[in-house]
Structure 1
Amino acid sequence: MARGRLRVYLGAAPGVGKTYDMLAEGQRRAERGTDVVIGFMEDYGRPLTRKMAEGLPTVPRKNMPYRGTAFTEMDLDAVLARRPQVALVDELAHTNVPGSRNDKRWRDIEELLEAGTDVITTVNIQHLESLNDVVEQITGVRQRETVPDEVVRRADQIELVDMSAEALRRRMAHGNIYPPDKIEAALSHFFRPGNLSALREIAMLWVADRVEEALLRYRGQHGIQKPWATRERVLVALSGGPESDTLIRRGKRTASRGAGGELLAVHVRRDDGLATGNANLLAHHRALVESLGGSFHTMAGDDPAEAVLAFARKINATQIVIGATRRSRLKNLLGRGTGEAIIEGSGDDIDVYVVTHDEAAHGRLLRRHRVQSQSTDDTP
């Protein structure tokens, strides 16, 4: 039996309409003759959401007593026995009442998918596990219910349900999200304009990363080597020398010029294990890259230029930042350096930026001084 397909409506914030959109999609599929049922739906008393559910068959919930209180949960066994083509299951990050077969609703959904049922579900961006800390810093509210990012990333389809901060606050003020007694507190706390704008940006960036992952998989599956410039991805090639600080900061400025730009740094060590850079400096460079929001990578290779170019194409880099050469004129005459090889091998699909730095300038001045000193010594 083929595994079911998962579609996730990802809300940028509570109240943007993800449950409504889930139900609307269910209605569209039902009109086309698909067997659609509501496995679990939470309308929070919202009239428009409740109306959108009309006409769709619903599997009755299961009563779950806990500590003297009655709760209701999705009746997983009943939905599995019903064997619908599509099940609508709200609130992916929900924690089930103790005593349920699974502790989390996303595990219930996994059973439905394994049984061959397509599932359409919902989750808000603040419930993704990796974003728990940053959401708390922004909103002051720690989300107790989370779902692993990988569960959402594995979805066959993710649709971002978005709304401007102003429009969402108007919906709140008109009573379309929370009951009247909770509106004022919500508007002055979680639903402040700055909070909503930040959550919206986080949601768009998270979805962009997920799309980028799918793009990289597609390129790999189809043997596409040429990068596709969906957004700026700047790769800084580090030799391990003291000039690397300058290159990292220049790379960060370049990446920041475009929306969603990404900074990466790579250091190539020799295949034979011999050191190619000062270990303390490399640790410092890693810390600097990560403090600027980038990622630091090391790899082995006999030919640094080939290794950098291979890595750049693997990650779909749009630009490579390298430092001006510190090689002597004699060495340049004997053969090309790593920088020249990267430039020659980059082709027309990756831009290479050569950044001047104090170390290169110092090397040129030192060589000039040596030449002048030798001329003076040879003077009779």
Structure 2
Amino acid sequence: MAEDSWIAVDAMGGDEGLAVMLAGVAQARRRNPGLRFLLVGDETAIRAGLQSHPNLTAASEVVHAPELVGSSDKPSQAIRRARTTSMGIAIDLVKKGRAAAAVSSGNTGALMAMAKLALRTMPGIDRPALAALLPSLGENDLVMLDLGANAECDARNLVQFAVMGAAYARAVLDLESPRVALLNIGTEDMKGIDSVRDAAAAIRASTHLPLTFTGYIEGDRLSRGEVDVVVCDGFSGNIALKTAEGTARFVADLLKRAFRSSVRSKIGFLISKPATDLLRHHLDPNNHNGAIFLGLNGLVVKSHGGANAAGVSNAIEVAAKLVRNNLTHRIAEDLAAIEAKAA
């Protein structure tokens, strides 16, 4: 990341409050000594919290925001208070060029609305999409989008999501031609709604796209490592994401209950503890935290509202990696190349 690059952090967002946000920023700073931060929120509270994290003092500036966006605030309400809230000011710092990226754990709908209004979509993109990395049995994590920014999408939107998701995979996973699939209710060509089938036809016809299109994928194959990018509308994507997170917690709780069921099981737990620790780490959503709004003229990363310090740190590191890899420029280059070849 460039020496003059800063990351704006909405220090007041998230379910766990300022203490967890600052702990996450401090952890990210320890793991990445070159990072610098603009901490946005109540100045008095932030400066008091920084006393517990002396490593942040020299690497941070505090930007005062008198208000915050509540979890129940409607996007329209949040937009009207954009100039006075920590979330709105953090995004504005990206717009003004003071920050290379913004990170917030706050209200997703408000963050999306504010970011879209302030930063606008890139030329050639109709709607931004929320993308994130999910655990997979393959060599790399799985990029999935849209995860909730757009409940309804047409074929054109899905094709644009495929292009942006592939660019994200190349930047973050270092893949030359990411394998891309559309989430569907079956793998046969005739399955699915019109928008999905039309998007598949358009992607197959566009041989110049910087990706390898593998067709359709069903929900039970998402984590198998068969593809690198999964594209869907935000309604389906958000349900799939929440189902995966719930299943991960179910498996972890089921194992915990099983190992506590008898003395023999407890002994078995001690023997298998290295394997169960690895499983717990792989299933913990905090280790995959940090979703990005793709398609905007600026980088905005959404951290899970309930993320702990490690999760916040991971979201910040996602933002830093996207800055280093100049993701916005990569997407713009892909879109320009596609338009040039289509002309």
Considering the TM-score relative to the shorter chain, is it more than 0.5? Answer: no
Higher relative contact order (CA 8 A, sep 6+): 2
Query: Which structure shows the bigger proportion of residues in helix conformation?
Result: 2
Q: Which has the larger radius of gyration?
A: 1
What is the TM-score of this pair, normalised by structure 2?
Answer: 0.30
What is the TM-score of this pair, normalised by structure 1?
Answer: 0.28
